[in-house]
Structure 1
Amino acid sequence: MNKSVLIVSYYFPPMGFSGALRGYYLATFLAGRGYDVTVITTEGVKYIAFDDSLKAPDGIRIIKLKTYDPQRYFSGKGKGQFGILRKINAQIFPFDNKILLFPSLKRAIERIVKERGVDTIVSTSPPPSLHLSCMRIAKKYGINWIVDLRDALTDNQLKKSNGIVSFVEHREEKKIISAASKITVTTENILVKLKEKYPNLRDKIVLVRNGFSKIDFKKAKKIKMQKEKINIAYISRISHLTDIESILKALRENDDFVLHFAGVDATGTLNDLIERYEVDGNVIRYGYLPHEDALSLMKSADILLITLAAVEGMEDVTTAKLYEYFGAGKPILLIAPEGTEAEKLIKRERAGECVRNGATDLIADAIRRLYGKKGCVNPQRYTWEHSFELFLDYTDNKDNYRKKKREAENN
């Protein structure tokens, strides 16, 4: 009988962006390795982007819970609305406002455990509050439990909680780290910080990066670009954590640069900035693209752009899009403050150049140097398959899988 895995992922397709993709590709990977996979996710979420093109493989059971996220009761997009709500949430809710889902999520997990049996639970965050429900059930039934952290649980400079909320968060973090069978994190900075914070538990904390899908890249077709221009693609969101203004300033001074923006402007400021810098003819806006179309744009551009705002706490940020950029094989331009993990990886892989925020002339110089060059020379280490191999070591099915793998290689 195949081993069973329950993945708890608040964000899951058809919701878009990288938070949904990690759970999606993990479920796909484990199902392809013979696991019996069930996913608990949400529906009715107030969210900025959806992608109906991503379909889970046959055989994966998906259970959707109604969410009590206060954001679902807000109308409209951007213009600071969610920024205000985010600040209020940090002062009221331990971890996040998704903690309101705790009772129904706990009941749903327990029902699956009783009805179907579960060998391993994987809970992936953000939002971190979902780990609380998983912890209760894993401890009650003695189930192997993997805590997957895409962001830090606490000590996150990007989230400022008040004293009482911060105390509760640190207390619950200690419980989570102690109770988990394994903690997987997506960045080296978070790995080091957690190991230093919990030295007696350091052996259970491991790095499992985000990745890209070779299969999806093979399906994606190149699209026509303006040959007389240098085509720069930015495939992400514009938010309080990004710096789109720096690249727009460079466009103003260099008419042969064209920015292809595929994503969502969560700030509602992009159109005003384009008008201010008079670069409307140098910016092509696609909106949020289906994943395959986004990969096609990556494969077709001359240069791929990542921007990170010059704000406190960015050193822990890698941005999951970086790994798909590696997979596209195109040079990467990073505009960010010094010391980010994204910069370390780009330099390690010799995949592009890193320039500081606001350095317009240096940004333009870097673009001209990168034009015509190749990107990451060894992207294979950043595939989802390579990253998720580690999950086989943290479940009970690894010996059987290794045996089958050896048999396949010998045939």
Structure 2
Amino acid sequence: MKNPVLIITYYWPPAGGPGVQRWLKFATYLDQYNFEVTVVIPDHPDYPIVDASLIEEVPKGIQFIKVPINEPSRWASSLSRKRTKNLQKGIIPKNAGPLQRAMIWMRGNLFVPDARVGWKSRVIKAIHPYLLEHKNPTIITTGPPHSIHLIGLELKNKYTGFKWLADFRDPWTTIGYHKHLKIGARAQKKHEQLEQDVLNNADLLIVTSPHTGKEFASKSNTPIQVITNGFDINVNTTTRQPVGAFTMSHVGTLLSDRNPQVLWEVLAELCSESTDFKAAFKLQLAGNVSSEILDSIHRYDLDSNLNLLGYLSHKDAVDLMFHSQCLLLIEIDSIDTKAIIPGKLFEYFASARPIIAIGPKDADIENLIKHTHSGQYFNYLEKQKLKEHVLEKYALFKNGNNEGQLNDHINSYKRENLTKTLAKTIAYTWE
């Protein structure tokens, strides 16, 4: 008889972006470890990003409990759909207008911890029959949105005979955008109390980075397991240089605070110093890009080198990675982002293309890149080193030798191998 696992998540296909793939793939591979998986998802949600191609990756055999949800974003969209979608995507403009400022304040102070908090009571009611039918299930909540963890918290107060694992894909009160939501003292205190209640009452905490693990260990005695994100694509076995221009590609959202001025300076100087470089260089941005990023690119006179691709399906994004000369990974220069490991990093590994990463000093992503020998990491003060490295890559490109590198270090980040760790973690909570 298979062991029941109930996964409660807001993001599920056709939601797009790397966050949805974590539990889509865990749910896929848990079947190999004698688990019967049921997934609780919203019925007709208002996702900020949609990628219908991911529906094809949902495995047969998974059971679903679809729960209706009221999305405040639909109401807000009647005032301004574009501004609402940008806020949902995490794009918070520095020069927000009155309407945007009001929406940001409401998001930070009226919806604690987030705008999906109203879904909780409906989920509790909808899964009651499941809890009566299944003996000793493992319940997994995953956030953000961190209101999903409040479902686990309330279940702990109402039921017995199950184990609750709270999966944090990102931190809670220390996540980068938290400080930009204009949160008042009362709302902040509530955030901190809810976070503490979740950390203390879960049977086990799962985090995606060592830094987040250390943060939560300082706040709670609950056991913690680090399980990073990973990849489930076929590894690019062609390490030779792709054909075409000297392309540097970034896949994913570029927020206002994730604006690498040092990179634009380096690229502008190289274009100014070498007409050959300027003619060969292409900057490819795939995903949602803030107006502040585009303004910076314009100020550095890089418009003619820019290829703005918009949001790509997962398949097209992987194809872009495989055929780029270098892959860009940009993280905000802040102590709060040392714990952030973007999900795309692991597909960057599998693409076997050289990574150029920029972020805060001593970040977790720096250690991962070094461990996998997949590229070079620079902090925001290392402009000259960054410039020399780009020149080195360009010289290799000119000679046809800008090759990628494959090694066995990336195998541990395959989703199937990570699910093995998850299966052991679930078993541990029942010991």
Global fold match (TM > 0.5)? yes
- The 5 Å alignment of 1:218-297 reads 226-227=243-244, 229-243=245-259, 245-252=261-268, 253-254=270-271, 255=278, 256-265=280-289, 267-297=290-320
Partners of 1:376 and 1:77 in 2: CA distance:
41
CA contact (8 A) 1:8 1:124 kept: yes
Secondary structure in 1 matching 2:42: strand
CA change 1:299–1:76 in 2 (3 A) is: same
1:230 maps to a residue whose letter is: F
Partners of 2:381 and 2:42 in 1: CA distance:
39
Unmatched 5+ residue regions in structure 1? 400-411
Partners of 1:131 and 1:331 in 2: CA distance:
37
Partners of 1:80 and 1:398 in 2: CA distance:
39
Higher deviation after alignment, 353-362 or 171-180 = 353-362
CA change 1:110–1:241 in 2 (3 A) is: farther
Shift of 1:356: 3.5
Tell me what 1:36 maps to.
Answer: 36
1:76 matched to 2:62? The reply is no
Secondary structure in 1 matching 2:360: coil
1:387 maps to a residue whose letter is: L
Tell me what 1:26 maps to.
Answer: 26
Unmatched 5+ residue regions in structure 2? 93-100, 272-277, 397-401
Secondary structure in 2 matching 1:379: helix
TM-score, normalization: structure 1?
A: 0.85
Higher deviation after alignment, 358-367 or 38-47 = 358-367
Partners of 1:81 and 1:218 in 2: CA distance:
33
CA change 1:79–1:353 in 2 (3 A) is: farther
Higher deviation after alignment, 77-86 or 229-238 = 77-86
Tell me what 2:188 maps to.
Answer: 166
1:187 matched to 2:213? The reply is no
Partners of 2:235 and 2:360 in 1: CA distance:
34
CA change 1:126–1:374 in 2 (3 A) is: same
Tell me what 2:379 maps to.
Answer: 356
Which residue of 119, 138, 148 maps to 2:137?
Answer: 119
2:59 maps to a residue whose letter is: P
- The 5 Å alignment of 1:2-401 reads 2-54=2-54, 55=56, 56-73=58-75, 74=77, 75-77=80-82, 82=87, 83=92, 84=101, 85-115=103-133, 119-139=137-157, 140-156=159-175, 158-160=177-179, 161-198=183-220, 200-201=221-222, 204-213=223-232, 216-217=233-234, 226-227=243-244, 229-243=245-259, 245-252=261-268, 253-254=270-271, 255=278, 256-265=280-289, 267-311=290-334, 313-357=336-380, 362-370=385-393, 372-375=402-405, 377=407, 378-396=409-427
Cα RMSD, aligned residues only: 3.1
Tell me what 1:409 maps to.
Answer: none
Shift of 1:240: 3.1
Partners of 2:13 and 2:257 in 1: CA distance:
23
Partners of 1:287 and 1:81 in 2: CA distance:
13
Aligned length: 392
CA contact (8 A) 1:331 1:376 kept: no
Secondary structure in 2 matching 1:47: coil
2:130 maps to a residue whose letter is: I
CA contact (8 A) 2:199 2:216 kept: no
- What percentage of residue pairs aligned between the two structures are identical? 25
Partners of 1:398 and 1:179 in 2: CA distance:
13
1:260 maps to a residue whose letter is: Q
Q: Map Cα deviations across residues 246-288 of structure 1 (whole Å, 9 max, x no partner).
A: 44444433313212222122x2445544444333332223222
CA change 1:259–1:375 in 2 (3 A) is: farther
Shift of 1:297: 1.5
Shift of 1:205: 0.8
Tell me what 2:95 maps to.
Answer: none
